[in-house]
């Protein structure tokens, strides 16, 4: 993989020297509003994803107990159970990806936006860039036309090659702190996932479906504790598998320093 980084020595703990990078007074005044606006956007997206996941059990409960729903009764008497059995892993993978990639990715960018917003208000950061962007072909994003157009771009036009050919990972803190480094790793986890991370997210999808199932059935009494334990085990398997699969990918991304 070939990445091009810019806007200063990202992911280092060394402050930029005054005057080494020009930050105009206008930029200094406006960037808190820009970072705050970005933070609001990512918070809204995180809330929408979390809200959609949370509202499904309420929709089921509003229509009555899951155990007495027509769909469950049909599964008990017809051959539809076979189709449901085949579809279950696919549905679990979709919900797992929504949880581990879309929600985690959106929330991590919200936190990184807040970090940048907080730094934009501090005089100690006034003379330096706060965030940087990495262009990479490994990140999740829309299909790019660069594979066809980028090789033909010559001269001054070549500066736009990465925009056409790659995805951008933005809001990476230029100056490293343990808190910022943690959320940068979380962002890499969600937006530059390995195949193992995506496959491991199926456990989180199963955890979500099982939890929704026993809560809306509803399961009561001692069995509720049993099913709660099953849900926690599935969550643990999902987190453990995802982190193990993502470790090398995260370290590879995180170790690459940004250059001017």
| b/e code 115-130 from CB counts within 10 Å (16+ = b) | bbbebbeeeebebbbb
What token pair was written down for 49?
A: 């994803």
- CB of 258 closer than 8 Å to CB of 6: yes
Q: How confident is the model at residue 126 (pLDDT cuts 50, 70, 90)?
A: confident
* Angle between helical axes of 195-216 and 222-254 (0-180°, round to 10): 160
> Is the peptide bond preceding residue 61 cis, with omega within 30 degrees of 0?
no
Over residues 135-155, the pLDDT tens digits come to 776 667 554 554 444 444 455
DSSP 198-245: HHHHHHHHHHHHHHHHHHHTT--THHHHHHHHHHHHHHHHHHHHHHHH
Radius of gyration for the alpha carbons in the chain, expressed in angstroms and rounded: 23
How many whole angstroms separate alpha carbon 117 and alpha carbon 64?
A: 46
pTM score of the predicted model: 0.78
Question: How many C-beta atoms surround the C-beta of residue 49 within 10 A?
Answer: 18
Over residues 102-113, the pLDDT tens digits come to 999 999 999 999
Over residues 243-259, the pLDDT tens digits come to 888 877 777 665 654 44
The mean pLDDT of the chain is 77
Name the strand (E) or helix (H) holding 152: none
Say if residue 159's pLDDT is above 80: no
Over residues 12-48, the pLDDT tens digits come to 555 555 555 678 888 889 999 999 999 999 999 999 9
């Amino acid at each position: 993989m070939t990445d091009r980084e810019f806007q200063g020595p990202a992911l280092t703990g060394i402050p930029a020297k005054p005057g080494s990078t020009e930050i105009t007074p206008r930029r200094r005044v406006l960037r808190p509003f820009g970072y705050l606006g970005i933070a609001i956007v990512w918070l809204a997206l995180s809330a929408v994803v979390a809200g959609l996941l949370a509202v499904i059990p309420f929709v089921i409960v509003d229509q009555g107990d899951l155990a007495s729903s027509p769909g469950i009764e049909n599964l008990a008497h017809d051959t539809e159970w076979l189709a449901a059995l085949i579809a279950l892993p696919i549905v679990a993978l979709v919900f797992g990806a929504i949880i581990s990639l879309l929600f985690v990715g959106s929330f991590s960018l919200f936190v990184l936006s807040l970090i940048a917003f907080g730094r934009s208000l501090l005089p100690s950061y006034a003379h330096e860039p706060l965030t940087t962007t990495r262009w990479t072909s490994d990140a999740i994003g829309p299909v790019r036309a660069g594979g066809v157009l980028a090789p033909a771009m010559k001269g001054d036009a070549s500066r736009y090659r990465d925009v056409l050919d790659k995805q951008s990972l933005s809001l990476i803190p230029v100056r490293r702190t343990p808190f910022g480094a943690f959320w940068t790793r979380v962002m890499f986890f969600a937006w530059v996932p390995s195949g193992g991370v995506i496959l491991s997210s199926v456990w989180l999808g199963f955890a979500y479906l099982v939890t929704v199932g026993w809560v809306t059935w509803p399961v009561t009494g001692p069995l509720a504790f049993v099913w709660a334990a099953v849900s926690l085990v599935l969550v643990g398997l999902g987190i453990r598998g995802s982190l193990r699969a993502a470790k090398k990918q995260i370290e590879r991304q995180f170790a690459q320093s940004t250059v001017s």
